[in-house]
């Protein structure tokens, strides 16, 4: 069973529908035992870093996610689910989960740069990873973000995207993978990456 973390954010049902299409049993849940016993965990959603962390902390899900990560079982973060993995976000100066060294930065003010970034953009694979199996390089994915991750460990970056500047759009380290883009809204290539995660 795949646990989709329920922290009262939007877009959770879109991920559940994508997993249904792929034929994988899943559950949107905030129950600690269900999450810890799941084969895999997906942390998706849209929203602000501070509100996300407050919702996680109010349900003790921050500690559950840390414990699940330490178990070594596969985890996938999507959109806000990549940003809260880091130590700090500039969005309302929020302290995050700290599973990855690094921080989350706001796009700089540029006259021709619309913030947030909303729409399709190119992801270039900068190193091979099983999550990219049979995914074209580059490929286009759907983004909704006003902030972007800045990992301290360059070797964890597996995908990059340019929007005003080049930034990290996908990371992987041990059992944890995360993308800034929405796999569940990215058509065939997004479903393929989800399927790759579920088969890893």
- Give the active site residues: 79, 182, 184
Give, as one character, the DSSP assignment of residue 78. E
Kind of pairing between the strands at 88-89 and 102-106: parallel
Tokens of 36: 């810890």
Sign of the dihedral defined by the CA atoms of residues 197, 141, 97, 152, in that order: positive
- Separation of alpha carbons 185 and 28, rounded Å: 18
Alpha helical stretches, state H, 59-186:
61-71, 80-83
User: Which residues, at least 6 apart from 97, have a Cβ–Cβ distance to it below 8 Å?
Assistant: 53, 56, 62, 65, 66, 84, 85, 86
- Separation of alpha carbons 2 and 41, rounded Å: 6
**Chain centroid, CA 22 distance in Å:** 19
The helix (H) or strand (E) run that includes residue 94 is strand 94-95
Residue with tokens 């973000």: 145
């Amino acid at each position: 069973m795949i646990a989709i973390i329920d922290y009262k954010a939007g877009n959770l049902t879109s991920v559940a529908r994508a997993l249904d299409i792929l034929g994988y049993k899943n559950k949107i849940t905030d129950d600690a035992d269900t999450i810890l016993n799941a084969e895999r965990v997906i942390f998706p959603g849209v929203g602000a870093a501070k509100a996300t962390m407050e919702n996680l902390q109010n349900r003790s899900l921050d500690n559950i996610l840390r414990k699940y990560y330490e178990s070594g079982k596969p985890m996938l973060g999507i959109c806000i689910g990549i940003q809260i993995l880091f130590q700090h976000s500039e969005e309302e100066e929020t302290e995050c989960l700290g599973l990855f060294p690094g921080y989350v930065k706001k796009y700089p003010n540029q006259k021709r740069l619309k913030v947030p970034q909303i729409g399709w953009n190119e992801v270039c694979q900068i190193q091979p990873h099983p999550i990219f199996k049979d995914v074209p390089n580059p490929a286009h994915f759907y983004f909704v973000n006003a902030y972007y991750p800045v990992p301290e460990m360059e070797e964890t970056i597996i995908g990059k995207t340019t929007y005003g500047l080049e930034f990290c759009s996908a990371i992987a380290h041990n059992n944890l993978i995360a993308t800034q883009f929405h796999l569940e809204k990215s058509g065939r290539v997004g479903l393929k990456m989800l399927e790759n995660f579920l088969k890893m």
